[in-house]
Amino acid sequence: MTREQCRAARALIGWSQQQLADAAAIGVATIRVFEAGGSEPRSATLQVLSLALESAGVVFLGDGTCVEGGPGVRLRSVAPAAS
């Protein structure tokens, strides 16, 4: 997950940095520094951030599945209700 994906994912679901920190059980300062470009978090931290966002419905795109081929995010598709 890139810092841009993190910011975009939060925007998609309407979360503040504090809400993401709470959901991931990490300090909000870690998210602030990461999103501002100050440092790259450890892989374990990126994993808990990703899991928290994915649990809220975010899908990470980073393998060329975006229109432009770069990393991105989208909301999980909801299956239509059966009638």
pLDDT in tens, the chain (83 residues): 999 999 999 999 999 999 999 999 999 999 999 999 988 899 999 999 999 999 999 999 876 555 566 788 989 876 555 55
Indicate the pTM of the whole model: 0.83
Q: 24-34 as b/e, with b when 16 or more CB fall inside 10 Å?
A: bebeeebbeeb
- Using CA atoms, how far residue 52 sits from 9, 24, 67, 82, 83, in Å, is 11, 5, 25, 29, 32
Contact indicator for 71, 60 with CB cutoff of 8 Å: yes
Q: Where are the domains of the chain?
A: 3-75
Q: Tell whether domain 3-75 is in CATH 1.10.260.40.
A: yes
CB 41 within 8 A of CB 30: yes
